[in-house]
């Protein structure tokens, strides 16, 4: 066994131990709940832009993008643009004609100005409008037709109905070997009082939409190995690997 193979085996065994350790999983869950209460995910930036993600998910996204080498990344939800810049930075390193499309119903002017003046702006296309509107979906589909491999990240309105619509509309763009990533599925697992001023909560969130989607779409499976590896994530059961072309 080569040194690289030996290291990979050690890593695999370590991840299996973590996944099987109930005490570790419970500690991770409690820590996440407390960190969410303190808005921990708002602490970080990527190349100057607020990213509003957990470091573990940032690393997971990096691993997925580097391994799958998409030509097009579609992200619903823009906020301050940090996630778009993360994707753009990896696409820049991969080279070629690679683009990330950021869709949001309301791209605030100060965020648009900052994104469009960023050194990686040439890798980013902003689309303002509802991610489920026919005009926006048609625009993204037309762009996807010119690319070989698309990766999709859903992180906009977190209600069951909206995420379900996004899953149905954007999943056909994802080929075998790529990913459909649904953020904030953890809403289902957080205390009921966590979202007093939001239209989503337990029973009405991305995870409930993913469950319904997976029950009738066999092209995708949950990447449980990735989830076990990072241990702390906003997207439990949300990293969906495509195993079959449309």
Tell me the two tokens of residue 241: 């690997």
- Residue 206 confidence class, pLDDT cut points 50, 70, 90: very high
Cβ atoms 124, 88 nearer than 8 A: yes
Residue 170 has pLDDT above 90, yes or no: yes
pTM recorded for the entire structure:
0.96
Q: What pLDDT sits at residue 192? A: 86
- Residue 76 confidence class, pLDDT cut points 50, 70, 90: very high
Q: Which domains are seen in the chain, by residue range?
A: 3-242 (3.40.50.150)
Report the alpha-carbon distance of residue 153 to residue 180 in Å, rounded: 6
pLDDT digits over 96-129, tens only? 999 999 999 999 999 999 999 999 999 999 999 9
């Amino acid at each position: 066994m080569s040194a690289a193979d030996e290291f990979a085996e050690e890593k695999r065994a370590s991840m299996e131990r973590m996944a099987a350790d109930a005490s570790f999983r419970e500690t991770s869950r409690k820590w996440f709940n407390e960190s969410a209460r303190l808005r921990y995910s708002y602490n970080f930036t990527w190349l100057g832009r607020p990213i509003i993600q957990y470091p573990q998910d940032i690393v997971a996204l990096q691993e997925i993008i580097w391994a799958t080498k998409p030509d097009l990344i579609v992200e619903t939800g823009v906020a301050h643009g940090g996630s778009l810049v993360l994707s753009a930075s990896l696409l820049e390193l991969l080279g070629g004609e690679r683009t990330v499309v950021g869709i949001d119903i309301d791209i605030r002017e100060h965020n648009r100005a900052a994104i469009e003046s960023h050194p990686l702006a040439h890798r980013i296309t902003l689309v303002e409008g509802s991610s489920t509107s026919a005009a926006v979906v048609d625009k993204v589909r037309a762009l996807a037709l010119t690319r070989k491999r698309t990766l999709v990240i859903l992180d906009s309105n977190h209600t069951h109905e909206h995420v379900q619509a996004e899953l149905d509309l954007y999943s056909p763009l994802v080929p075998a070997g790529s990913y459909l990533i649904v953020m904030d599925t953890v809403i289902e697992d957080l205390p009921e009082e966590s979202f007093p001023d939001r239209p989503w909560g337990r029973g009405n969130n991305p995870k409930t939409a993913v469950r319904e989607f997976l029950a009738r779409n066999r092209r995708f499976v949950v990447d449980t190995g990735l989830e076990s590896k990072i241990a702390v994530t906003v997207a439990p059961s949300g990293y969906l690997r495509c195993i079959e072309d449309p």
